[in-house]
Structure formats: structure tokens, C-alpha cells
Structure 1
Amino acid sequence: MFIEERKFEYWMNRLVSHFETVNRKIDKLSNTENKINDEVLLDNQDLCLLLKVSKRTLQRFRSSGKLPYKRIGKKTYYLESDVHEFIQNGFSKK
């Protein structure tokens, strides 16, 4: 099978252009952080991994008032500064 050089270059340029577009979209998605007033918001999964605790333990911290949180839609978020303060105060104290 033989492909004309111009057609080959045309399709290769389209393919490269498409890959570049996809790459830009992936970079944009991976670099986005949830922020409110220039402060990073952490979700349950982020905080579970950070503190090495379960979702139920986070629920206990929230219910006891030890860990401030925000609800946006049906998702729970924690301000990074609140998490730092919570850690400094010793989150394991009950």
C-alpha cells in the first residue's frame, strides 16, 4: 500500500494536533485545585489519605466539632488552614 507524501503529512499533522489538544486538556485538569478565596479545599478522600484515617473517623471529627468543614452540593470539603490547625491541636485527642 502506498500513501501519497502530502496525504501522509496532512494526516500526521492532524494527529499531532489532536494529541496536543488532548495533552493540554489533561494538563489543565490535573493542575486544577479546588480553591475558595485562594485557599485550597481538601475533600474526604484527600483528608483520609493525609491523616491516614477512615471516612467514618472524619465523620466523628466533624460531628464532635473538632474539624470544621464546608458542604458544597453533596460533597464535604475542608479548608487547608482548618486542617493545619486541627493537626496542630492534635487530632488524636478525643
Structure 2
Amino acid sequence: MEIVCIDKQTFEELRVRFCKLEEKVGRLCRPEEDFGLKNWLDNQDVCEILRISKKTLQVYRDKGILPFSRIKHKIFFKPEDVQKLLESNYHHLKREL
């Protein structure tokens, strides 16, 4: 094994650079910190979740039933908007006495 001696100032500079590199790599590898962008759903996802056709989904968009975002020809939906739609149309069972 080879031992290399360096002065304290050089060691501290290397340590600071290594910490900065570690932060950058950590930011690149952290999928949960995507500012919510990976959570957006596309047409196919929403159709599968709601078990509806693409045409029905288009009607929901046209009538303002389900909010969406469009980038060029691609349409995206927030999962919480899909959840709200489901919850707003939830019907409780009526108990028979």
C-alpha cells in the first residue's frame, strides 16, 4: 500500500470539491425531487384509471369536467384532478332501515 501525504489546505480543497460533486450526483439520482413533473398522467394513463375511452376523455376535456395541460399535441393531467373527479362523483350507499 502506498501512502501519500498532502498538506492540510490541499486536503480541504479536495474535500470541498468532493462534497460539491456528491451534491450534484445526489441531485441527479434523486427521482422523488422532480417538482411533481413525473406525476403528470397522459391520455392513456387516465383512460386506464377511469376505464373510459379516449373519446369520452376528450368530452371531459371539452366540457371542462377534467382540467388538463397541453404541450403541442400532447395532453397531460394532474393525478389529483383525476382523484377529485372520482371523489366528486362518489355516491354513498343508502342504508335501508
Return the TM-score normalized by structure 2: 0.53
Return the TM-score normalized by structure 1: 0.54
- Cα distance in 2, alignment partners of residues 90 and 55 from structure 1: 19
- Cα distance in 1, alignment partners of residues 82 and 48 from structure 2: 13
The 4+ residue runs of structure 1 with deviation greater than 6 A are none
2:68 partner letter = Y
Shift, 1:74, TM fit: 1.0
Shift, 1:73, TM fit: 2.2
2:74 partner letter = K
Q: Which has the larger radius of gyration?
A: 2
- Cα distance in 2, alignment partners of residues 44 and 55 from structure 1: 7
Unaligned runs of 5+ in 1: 1-31
Superposed counterparts of 1:79-90, under 5 Å: 79-90=78-89
Residue identity (%): 37
Which has a greater percent of strand?
1
- Cα distance in 2, alignment partners of residues 69 and 54 from structure 1: 16
Superposed counterparts of 1:25-36, under 5 Å: none
1:48 partner letter = C
Superposed counterparts of 1:63-82, under 5 Å: 63-82=62-81
